[in-house]
Structure 1
Amino acid sequence: MADSVQDRVIAIIAEQAVLEPGDVAMDNSLEDLGIDSLGLVESIFAIEEAFDIQVPFNANEPEQSAFDISSVAAIVKAVEGLVADQK
C-alpha cells in the first residue's frame, strides 16, 4: 500500500470539503473544513469503502459513537485502529 492511512483519510476528507489535501491540517475539525452532517456521512462511507472496514458510527448521535470525529487526527487514529483490528 503506497499511501499511508493518514494520507488516504486526508484525501477523502479533502475531496468531501472540496479542498486540496495540503489544505487539510490534522487539528482541523470537519466543521472547520466546511463539512456538514451529510458530508460527514459521505466521508464515513468513503472511508469504509477505501479501507474495507465497518465504522461504528451513529450519524444521528455522533457523541454516542466510539469513533471520534472531533478532528482529522482523531479520525485518522480511529481508522488506523480499525485497520489494525482487521489484521
Structure 2
Amino acid sequence: MSNEVQDKVIEIIAEQAVLDVSDVTPESSLDDLGIDSLGLVESIFAIEEAFDIQVPFNANDPSESDFDISSVAAIIKAVEGLVAEQKQ
C-alpha cells in the first residue's frame, strides 16, 4: 500500500502546485514547490477526500499535531499513519 499512498500524495501535491509529478519528490518541502497556505489547505482537502481520512485541524502546528507537513515524505508518512488507523 505504501507506494500507492506515496504516488497518490505526490500526484495531489503536484496538481495543487501546478507541477509535473516528476517535479515532486519525497525530499521536497512545500516551500520548494511553491505551495502557499491556500495550496496547503487545498492539498489537505484533496488528500482527505482521496483517502477518506480526517487530517487534524492543527496540522500546520507541529507542536500540536502528529501530522507533519515539513516535507512531502513527512506528509506521506502521516497519511500512511491515518490510513492505517482507519483500518483498525
TM over 0.5: yes
- Which residue does 1:62 correspond to in 2? 61
Deviation at 1:65, TM superposition (A): 2.3
State the Cα RMSD in Å. 1.6
Q: Is the CA contact (8 Å cut-off) linking 1:27 and 1:73 kept in structure 2? A: yes
Please give the per-residue CA displacement for 1:6-62, whole angstroms capped at 9, x wherever unaligned: 000000000011001111011111111000001001100000000000001326x52
Which runs of no fewer than 5 residues in structure 1 stay unpaired?
none
Task: Report the TM-score, using the length of structure 1 for normalisation.
Answer: 0.90
Percent of matched pairs sharing the same residue: 78
Number of residue-to-residue matches in the alignment: 85
Taking the aligned partners of 1:35 and 1:22, their CA distance within structure 2 comes to 16
Taking the aligned partners of 2:35 and 2:5, their CA distance within structure 1 comes to 20
Task: Please list every run of at least 4 consecutive aligned residues from structure 1 whose deviation after the TM superposition is greater than 2 angstroms.
Answer: 61-65
Which runs of no fewer than 5 residues in structure 2 stay unpaired?
none
- Which residue does 1:11 correspond to in 2? 11
Task: Report the TM-score, using the length of structure 2 for normalisation.
Answer: 0.89
